Structure 1
């Protein structure tokens, strides 16, 4: 998905409102990044990040270009072999994005969406890798291990005993989701970030909520009960919620098994390898799977499975008061 950087720069003025509202639009061609985290190794060296992000207000195209240049995040950098994605977050998709994205060339809109979401997916996976290392190496009676077991619904309270067998079960659940798969599902479920649910509640993956606090669809099916679409505080929280849902829900047991088999064979965990396991994610079944596979291939998303994060301090783009 290589695109001319100057072409994208021309349309950036249209989406300035999106950026100013807290969105980091990654205006890069979707090329072939690579993952730096050594997910097959016994230990993963992940540098701790400062708690507080750097907040930057973007008010002009020049400021955005300067920011991208600072983090070597331009088309030219990528064409020269730079494969890092900077740690950038944004607050929400705005009403302006819903309207303005309709005026963008399709390929440009897709590139912008993928650039927004890709760093979030890698950051969520990085957190899972940290948890996985605890599961692999912590003592069975450690508090950290029990907290993860609670989070992943393996035990009901901290007084429960964790066995070696339970550790192995937990390792099947605490694992990454391929960025290509997450990007394809986010695009499909949120309409490239233009859906009402993405706008109102940072819901990029269409997760259901039966607590009564979810966003109500316009046409509810009474047979399914009092349900809604889960809302999240941020797009990053939505990504983390999606991954936790996939990793804890027994409906995706097949994905857990296939992913564990790939690890056992020292093979890469890719979106194309796991996409066939998501038949229960949508009522569309096989048509949904076929659509995700086509999206991954057509947009060359499989290359993002090799993407890696830069070591920069987290950048959060904000608007001026």
Structure 2
């Protein structure tokens, strides 16, 4: 009888172990990636498959069209988000100009937008809302597309393919991104990794709309608004002088790319007057 009970116990334990192993095989993926691959690259492995292999498109014109067509819907989506935020702030400005009080929901949303665009707002008054409006504004589609093409080598760079980073955006904590192969001794920056193309473009737009380095960009845009002129990429590109260490040479390069790719930029263009007013 003792032998029978021990045999039953052993069999039961064996069944449990087999079940655990089976569950592990089913639910825990086996890591067969290259051990030299960084965790961030592994995290975005799916994303690589979601980005077309632009380097495989031999025809230059076809490559340009494919690149712009890939990014254009996301650029427009993010501009719609910003346009909605701006429309709300314009209504808040109107309320304050007419001596109306804001309700709690309006106050909360203004505070949320101030935080998003890194604007220290002590009081919600007409002056502070006007200043916040200088930050909460759209960015011309053609400018976004040209800068993405320049910074990512038409989508073929390692950072675009592995990290959805089309704009060369940096981060400064260890493990936050991909380490540039050309990074010099003593430098700690990495090229930021994003979870999606949407996140990458949203971050780029928020950077231009909030970072002190692009105050000139926002000033040019505000002047165009004040004069009821279209937000022209040709004029706003001058506000990117601090985006690259090359400064004026970088601006000249972007303007040259803008001129040479006008037909591809215009081919998918639709009216954006709804984004321009206000």
Aligned counterparts, 1:193-212, within 5 A: 193-212=155-174
1:49 corresponding residue in structure 2: none
RMSD: 2.3
For residues 20-55 of structure 1, the C-alpha deviation after alignment (integer angstroms, 9 at most, x for no partner) is xxxxxxxxxxxxxxxxxxxxxxxxxxxxxxxxxxxx
- Greater RCO, 1 or 2 (C-alpha within 8 Å, sep 6+): 1
Aligned counterparts, 1:136-147, within 5 A: 136-138=90-92, 139=102, 142-147=107-112
1:247 corresponding residue in structure 2: 209
2:142 corresponding residue in structure 1: 180
Per-residue deviation at 1:304? 7.0
Whether 2:180 is the aligned partner of 1:217: answer: yes
1:191 corresponding residue in structure 2: 153
Whether 2:234 is the aligned partner of 1:272: answer: yes
Unaligned 5+ segments in structure 2 are 1-45, 93-101, 273-278
Distance of 1:265 and 1:191 partners within structure 2: 35
1:226 corresponding residue in structure 2: 188
Distance of 1:303 and 1:255 partners within structure 2: 23
Per-residue deviation at 1:104? 2.0
Aligned counterparts, 1:19-168, within 5 A: 92-94=47-49, 97-98=52-53, 101-138=55-92, 139=102, 142-155=107-120, 160-168=122-130
For residues 186-232 of structure 1, the C-alpha deviation after alignment (integer angstroms, 9 at most, x for no partner) is 00111111111111110011111113212110121345x42111111
- More helix per residue: 1 or 2? 2
Per-residue deviation at 1:302? 6.0
> Structure 1 172/222 Cα, relative in aligned 2: closer, same or farther at 3 Å?
farther
Instruction: Check whether the contact 1:179–1:305 (CA below 8 A) recurs between aligned residues.
Output: no
Divergent runs of 4+, >6 A: none
What secondary structure does 1:194 align onto? coil
Q: 1:299 aligns with which of 261, 266, 273?
A: 261
> Structure 1 125/219 Cα, relative in aligned 2: closer, same or farther at 3 Å?
same
Unaligned 5+ segments in structure 1 are 1-90, 310-321
Count matched residues: 214
Distance of 2:268 and 2:229 partners within structure 1: 13
Which deviates the most, 181-190 or 279-288?
279-288
What secondary structure does 2:177 align onto? coil
Q: Which has the larger radius of gyration?
A: 2
For residues 271-307 of structure 1, the C-alpha deviation after alignment (integer angstroms, 9 at most, x for no partner) is 1111111111011111111111111111116637953
What secondary structure does 1:173 align onto? coil
What secondary structure does 2:114 align onto? helix
> Structure 1 265/220 Cα, relative in aligned 2: closer, same or farther at 3 Å?
same
Q: 2:251 aligns with which of 284, 289, 294?
A: 289
For residues 120-157 of structure 1, the C-alpha deviation after alignment (integer angstroms, 9 at most, x for no partner) is 1111100001111222223386101110001111137x
Distance of 1:197 and 1:184 partners within structure 2: 17
Distance of 1:227 and 1:140 partners within structure 2: 43
Distance of 1:276 and 1:263 partners within structure 2: 16
For residues 54-82 of structure 1, the C-alpha deviation after alignment (integer angstroms, 9 at most, x for no partner) is xxxxxxxxxxxxxxxxxxxxxxxxxxxxx
> Structure 1 143/191 Cα, relative in aligned 2: closer, same or farther at 3 Å?
same
Q: TM-score, normalised by structure 1?
A: 0.62
> Structure 1 302/109 Cα, relative in aligned 2: closer, same or farther at 3 Å?
closer
What secondary structure does 2:228 align onto? coil
